[in-house]
Structures are given as C-alpha cells and as structure tokens.
Amino acid sequence: MRKARRISAAVALDALMVALAIVVLFPLLYAIGTSFKSDAEVNQYPPTLWPQRWEFGNYGAALRVAPIARFLLNSFIQSGAVTLGQLATAALAGFAFSYIEFPGRQPMFFLFLSTLMVPAEVTLIPNYLTVRGIGWLNTYPALVAPFLATAFGTFLLRQFFLTIPRELWDAALIDGCSRRRFLVTILVPLARPALATLGIYAFLSTWNQYLWPLLVINSQEMRTVQVGLAILQSQEIVSWSLVMAGIVMIVAPTVILFLAGYRHVVRGLTAGAVKG
C-alpha cells in the first residue's frame, strides 16, 4: 500500500517535470512552429499551436530578405577569433600566475581580477571613441580586440594549472625543458577540459553580444547575427514567420554548442562562484 503510494507520487513528479519542461521551452517551441507557418496562418485568429500546413519557404525567404548567411559568417569570425584569442592570452597569464614566482605576483593577480568589477557601460563610450579614432568602425578588429583578454579565463586556467602535480614541473626543469615548451607540450594538453570550458563559454557569450556590435558596426555586410536580425523585423509589414525562421537559424549554432557541451557550460557558469 505504502509502496504503491510512493510509486504514484514519483509518477506525479515525473509528469510535473515534463509539464514544466514544456512550459519553460514553450516560447522556443512556439517560435520553431511559427517558422513553418504560412503568412495567412500566422495572422489567423485564434492562433494555431502547431503549423496546420508545413511551409518550408520561410527559411529561403528570410535568407533573401536579409543577408543572414553573411551575418552568420561575421559572427563565426568574431566569436572564433575571440575564443582563440582568449584561450591564448588566458593560458599564458594563467601559467605566469601559477608557475612563475615573480615579485608583485599577488597585486598583479588582483589587478587582473579588478577588471571583473568594471561594468561594460563605464568603458563603452571611451572604447567607442578609441575604436573610431583608430578607424576600426565596421571592421572585424573592432568586434574582436576589446575581448581578447579575460580575467575570468585567467582565473579558471590558473586554478586548473595549480591542480597539476608539481613533480611534473620539477622533472621538466631537470630535463632542461624551457617554460614555454612545458606550457605548450605538457600543460595545455593536460588542461583540455578547462580549455573546453573557457572556449565554449567565450564562444557563447561573444555570439550573443548585442550592444557593442550595434555601436561599432553600421554597414549592412559587417553586421553580426544578433544585430542583423532586426532587419527582418523592420520590414514594412512584419512577417513573424520570417522573423522566427531567422531566429531559428541564428540560435542553432549556440543550441548545438550548448547541447554538446552542457557540462562545460555549467562548469563555466559556476566556476568559483558557488563553492567559493
């Protein structure tokens, strides 16, 4: 009797969990459904939950109305370059903070961490003026350069490097291995999980940037996906099925990355925050 009650409680909880998953994902699922509806069906009242008749043409139409392929390319170049850059600068700095005992190491580390306290809004206007002064408006360097260093990533990699047995370093020194070779041939391969965490985190957050690309890019062909989306919405008559098709296309890369690297995303978001 008691066992039966416990089982039915478990089933009820399972049902609740499925229902909540549908509620949380509803806006996204509904957007996907809408991307396959015809214009007539989108404006129909009452709204349909799922397409009555599947209309695949919205994707092609969205690609014709806005150069989404070009936006995707721009975003891939920006996010890829920022990711590689952050991996490089963070690995170098993380190495210095964990393997080289230099005078002023502690204050230098605090200087790095202090950059986390500066909200982007405070540096926004001067950075815009700097980038404009160099003549970088509407270029890739403007989208990439300000994000090439990361205190968070440096911290993450330093923590990881510190967990690697010290004997490895001592043995390498005895064998006459230089610092650079030790970092490149021994530490970096060992640190692959931490590098993956930082890389996925960097790619996701760069891909989803909105304000900075909006400021430094105003030519059509240099736009990134997030800002470029607005073109679909600013048509004379907004076609929601077209907008949703565009959204599905620009969200797909981060969704794939999120599903493939879920563990890393979680580790990146919680690193040093919760267990302190």
Partner 1 sequence: MRRGGAGLRDLAGALAYLAPSLVVFAVFVFYPLVKNAQLSLYETSPLGDLRVFVGAGQYAQLLRDPAFLNSLRVSFLFALYTVPAGIVLGLPLALLANRRIRGITAYRTAYSFTIAVSIAAAALIWEWLLDPNVGVLNYLLGLVHVPKVGWLTDPRWALPAVAATTVWKDLGFNVVVLLAGLQGVPDELVEAARIDGAGPRAVFCHVVIPAISPALFFLAVAATIGVLQSFGQVNILTQGGPVGATNVIVYSIYRNAFFNFRFGLAAAQAMLLFMLVLVLTGLQFTVFERWVTYQ
- The C-alpha atoms of residue 192 and residue 99 are separated, in whole angstroms, by 18
Residue 243: name the closest of 228, 261, 258, 265 by CA: 228
**What's the closest the beta carbon of residue 176 comes to partner 1, in angstroms?**
16
Q: Tokens 């021994």 correspond to what residue?
A: 186
Amino acid at 265: V
Cβ closest to partner 1, residue 25 vs residue 171: 25
Give the dihedral sign, CA 121/123/125/127: negative
**What's the closest the beta carbon of residue 60 comes to partner 1, in angstroms?**
20
Cβ closest to partner 1, residue 149 vs residue 190: 149
Q: Two tokens at 156?
A: 């993450």
**What's the closest the beta carbon of residue 197 comes to partner 1, in angstroms?**
13
Cβ closest to partner 1, residue 65 vs residue 214: 214
Q: Cα–chain-centroid distance for residue 108? A: 28
Cβ closest to partner 1, residue 119 vs residue 176: 119
How large is the C-alpha radius of gyration of the chain?
24
Q: Tokens 């967990």 correspond to what residue?
A: 163
**What's the closest the beta carbon of residue 7 comes to partner 1, in angstroms?**
13
User: Does a cis peptide bond (omega within 30 degrees of 0) precede residue 46?
Assistant: yes
**What's the closest the beta carbon of residue 1 comes to partner 1, in angstroms?**
20
Cβ closest to partner 1, residue 54 vs residue 262: 262
Cβ closest to partner 1, residue 33 vs residue 190: 33
Q: Do residues 157 and 90 touch, judged by C-beta distance below 8 A?
A: yes
Taking phi over 0 as left and psi of -120 to 50 as alpha, with beta for the rest, 55 belongs to beta
**What's the closest the beta carbon of residue 25 comes to partner 1, in angstroms?**
6
Residue 233: name the closest of 62, 104, 4 by CA: 62
